Each structure stands twice: as structure tokens, then as C-alpha cells.
């Protein structure tokens, strides 16, 4: 591992991807004096089908891993200060069949060991003493509660982050002129990118922050894969929204379904599932390989299609969390695309054999909550200043020829059924 960054601060950096990885990296590197940074994306941020956008994302410090728990505490300070306009501290309820749930139990221990407070309810119905607006029947379930948890307006947060990048001098190229067809390669060095419109952009260093689209540009199938997670939205009446406005974020760790309070000013209620998701079978335009990925062209959020079993899982969650709304029609649905990794760890590392390429991806469904601090951690890895423990944890593993593709099971926080590949008819509706 080199002892310093591989480029000078006046050399050109191209960052592919305008999600939380790409934007936070661009902003932090600009703060550190890098003067020639260009961010490319298919869409103007906030990217309409990215995993960093939408009306809400969970913000929590409850982690079963000490590093992410520590990072989440640091990020929480950012959410309550510079990003306070987008953060809603509603509280967080985690439900499980009993207190033996490994992820919930370990999270509780780590939060407490780091000076935090977690309430336990061996009868989960007792959470209603804290939140009278909850009308659910949680009989037979165990619950933990952390009052520091809540949610953030993801779309507005990304808008703010992109604006800060622009003010810092970061350049943006979007649309066909910013859509990357392939990495530009000379021997073992990446020298820039080839664009879908036939043009090219040269760079001293390319930083790949392409999330669920990463395998379209680089063979990461041994380290990451894309899965779609179901999301549904319901329109409430103003009266219904007022009744639910003081409810917490709630997640059933067995089913994976979670919900938010209504978004202020919209009367919109959102449910989603943090599970193993759905895979597709797509062809990479750059390499010709078969991968799981959302489409490159157009918006993957436009069709509103969900597989029947995904729709029913969300409907079951609606019945549990908001029984009075169990028959309410969805106003909008979509698949949110995760970049899964075997252990739920990020991938933030220089490519071992392709000089000029740095990878920052593998959000695994939980990167957004670190928005206020993520760029600092990525930039430390980019400049080879990060502790060995972190660099090893986020290392881009080598592809061992002949080995079976690893299961992308994550960090143990996922719920619901195993990963299912969509059939050809289902994929045609996306």
C-alpha cells in the first residue's frame, strides 16, 4: 500500500457517480485542496433512481459492529448540526421474535458500551407507553428503543451536498455527456472514461462510486452485487397524518419491513424492506458479462413495478404497523437498488492491478446515514491515511479464479426471504 495519495492535488480527478459516495468524496477532497474534480452521472443529483435519494432514510447509531457504531455516532453529530434541517429525531424501534436476536442484542450492547442508552421491552406492546400514536399489536415480540434514532430527508440532503460541491468548485457533467460506457484503459492503467455519446474524458485518477451499477463498469462480482428492495408510499389524509406524526421509525428485524412517520408537509407514509431483495440478469455494456444490475439508461424508478411477493410483503408490514390502513392503495412503488457485499462492509480501496482506479462502493443499504462523515473516511483511504484496521475492513478483495461467487448476505441485519432472481417476465416490467 503506498504511503501517500497517488495523484497531485492539481491533477484531474474524475468521480463516476453522484450519490452519497461520490458527492461526499468530491466535497472532502476539494476541502483537502484537490483543485480539478469532475463528477459524472446519468442524472443530475439527486439522482432519481439512486439509493441515496427519496423522501426518507433511517438514521441510527444501533449497529452490531463497533466501527459502524462509532461512525454513526460521529454522523449523528452532523445530522443534529450542519444537516439539522433535514433530520427528524423521531426515535427508533427495533422488533424481534425475542431478545436472542443476534443483531439486535449486539447492537444494544455496543450502543451501551459507547455511552448510549437503549430501552428494552420484553413485551413489545409496551412501546405504546412511549408512543401513544402506535396502534399496532406487537404481541409476542421483543423490542428495543433508542430515542436518538430517526430519519433524514434523503433527497434534500443530497441536494444540499451537491450544492456544497458546486460552491467548492467541483464540476458536474450529467446526461449522455456524463454517462459512462466503459473505463478507458491503456495497458494496466485506467486513463479516464469512455462515454455513451462516443466521447471520452481523460483523468489522472478515476474514482468509481457507481453503487448498484458498479458491475457494469468493473468486474466486482466476487465482491459486490446489486439487489432491488421494495418500497411503497401511501397518501394519507391530513387527519391521518396528524395522528401518526409522533410515531417512531419502526423495523421488524424478522421480516425486514420498516416504516417512517409521515413526511411533514406531504402526508405521505413510506414502508420498505431491508432484506435480501431481488436480482436481475443484465448484460454489461462495457464487458458483455451477465450481472445483476438496474438499467443504465433511463430511470429505474419510473415504472413503479414490484413483484407480487414484494408487494404482499409490504402489505403485510402495513397490516402490522398501521392496521387501519391495511387496504389503502399504494400511490407509488419502486425497487430501491442496494450494492450488496458478503459482510455488509463498504469497498473503499485502490484497485490492486488497475493503476489510476480507486473504488468507493458497497453501500449495502446503510451508507447514506453516514453522509456527514463518509467523505472524510473515503478521503483518508484515498490518501492512505486511514488506520490499517479500516483499510483492511474495506479492502477490495482479489477475485480468486475458480472460486464460487460468495453469498451477499450482509451484516446480519437483513430480514425476510432469501435473494430471488426475477424471471424474464418480471424483469420486462421494471
Residues 141-167 have pLDDT tens digits of: 999 999 999 999 999 999 999 999 999
Residue 178 carries which DSSP code? G
So what's the pLDDT on residue 1?
43
Residues 198-230 have pLDDT tens digits of: 999 999 999 999 999 999 999 999 999 999 999
Please state the three-class secondary structure of 327-388 as a single string: CCCCCEEEEEEEEECCCCCCEEEECCCCECEEEEECCCCCCHHHHHHHHHHHHHHHCCCCCH
- 7 pLDDT above the threshold of 70: yes
Residues 251-306 have pLDDT tens digits of: 999 999 999 999 999 999 999 999 999 999 999 988 899 999 999 999 999 999 99
- 21 pLDDT above the threshold of 90: yes
- 403 pLDDT above the threshold of 80: no
Specify burial of residue 151 (Cβ count, 10 A radius: 0-12, 13-18, 19+).
Answer: buried
Three-class SS state of 70: helix
For residues 226-240, average pLDDT: 98
- 2 pLDDT above the threshold of 60: no
**CATH fold of the domain at 13-428:** FAD/NAD(P)-binding domain (3.50.50)
Residue 275 carries which DSSP code? S
Residues 54-71 have pLDDT tens digits of: 999 999 999 999 999 999
Rounded to the nearest integer, the mean pLDDT of the chain is: 96
Q: Where are the domains of the chain?
A: 13-428
- 404 pLDDT above the threshold of 80: no
Of the candidates 253, 287, 280, 276, the one whose C-alpha atom is nearest the C-alpha of residue 364 is 276
Amino acid at each position: 500500500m503506498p504511503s501517500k495519495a497517488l495523484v497531485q492535488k492539481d491533477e484531474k480527478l474524475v468521480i463516476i457517480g453522484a450519490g452519497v459516495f461520490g458527492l461526499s468524496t468530491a466535497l472532502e477532497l476539494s476541502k483537502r485542496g484537490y483543485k480539478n474534480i469532475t463528477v459524472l452521472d446519468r442524472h443530475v443529483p439527486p439522482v432519481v433512481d439512486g439509493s441515496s435519494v427519496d423522501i426518507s432514510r433511517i438514521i441510527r447509531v444501533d449497529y452490531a459492529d463497533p466501527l459502524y457504531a462509532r461512525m454513526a455516532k460521529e454522523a449523528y453529530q452532523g445530522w443534529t448540526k450542519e444537516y439539522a434541517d433535514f433530520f427528524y429525531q423521531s426515535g427508533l424501534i427495533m422488533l424481534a421474535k425475542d431478545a436472542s436476536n443476534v443483531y439486535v442484542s449486539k447492537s444494544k450492547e455496543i450502543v451501551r458500551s459507547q455511552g448510549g442508552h437503549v430501552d428494552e421491552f420484553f413485551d413489545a406492546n409496551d412501546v405504546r407507553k412511549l408512543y401513544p400514536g402506535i396502534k399496532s399489536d406487537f404481541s409476542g415480540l421483543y423490542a428495543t428503543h433508542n430515542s436518538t434514532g430517526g430519519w433524514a430527508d434523503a433527497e434534500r440532503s443530497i441536494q444540499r451536498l451537491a450544492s456544497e460541491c458546486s460552491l467548492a468548485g467541483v464540476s458536474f457533467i450529467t446526461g449522455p455527456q456524463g454517462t459512462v460506457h466503459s473505463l478507458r484503459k491503456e495497458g494496466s492503467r485506467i486513463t479516464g472514461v469512455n462515454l455513451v455519446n462516443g466521447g471520452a474524458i481523460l483523468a489522472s485518477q478515476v474514482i468509481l462510486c457507481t453503487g448498484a451499477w458498479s458491475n457494469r463498469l468493473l468486474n466486482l462480482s466476487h465482491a459486490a452485487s446489486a439487489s432491488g428492495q421494495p418500497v411503497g408510499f401511501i397518501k394519507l389524509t391530513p387527519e391521518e397524518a396528524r395522528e401518526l406524526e409522533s410515531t417512531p421509525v419502526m423495523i421488524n428485524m424478522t421480516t425486514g419491513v420498516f416504516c417512517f412517520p409521515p413526511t411533514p408537509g406531504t402526508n405521505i407514509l413510506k414502508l420498505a424492506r431491508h432484506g435480501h431483495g431481488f436480482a436481475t440478469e443484465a448484460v454489461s455494456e462495457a464487458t458483455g458479462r451477465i450481472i445483476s444490475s438496474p438499467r443504465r439508461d433511463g430511470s429505474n424508478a419510473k415504472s413503479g413495478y414490484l413483484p407480487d411477493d414484494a408487494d404482499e410483503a409490504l402489505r403485510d408490514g402495513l397490516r402490522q404497523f398501521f392496521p387501519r390502513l391495511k387496504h389503502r392503495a399504494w400511490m407509488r412503488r419502486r425497487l430501491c437498488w442496494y450494492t450488496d457485499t458478503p459482510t455488509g462492509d463498504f469497498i473503499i480501496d485502490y484497485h490492486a492491478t488497475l493503476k489510476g482506479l480507486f473504488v468507493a462502493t458497497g453501500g449495502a443499504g446503510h451508507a447514506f446515514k453516514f453522509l456527514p462523515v463518509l467523505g472524510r473516511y473515503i478521503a483518508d483511504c484515498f490518501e492512505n491515511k486511514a488506520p490499517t484496521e479500516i483499510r483492511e475492513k474495506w479492502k477490495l478483495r482479489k477475485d480468486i479464479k475458480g472460486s464460487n461467487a460468495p453469498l451477499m448476505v450482509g451484516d446480519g441485519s437483513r430480514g425476510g426471504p432469501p435473494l430471488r432472481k426475477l424471471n424474464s417476465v418480471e424483469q420486462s416490467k421494471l
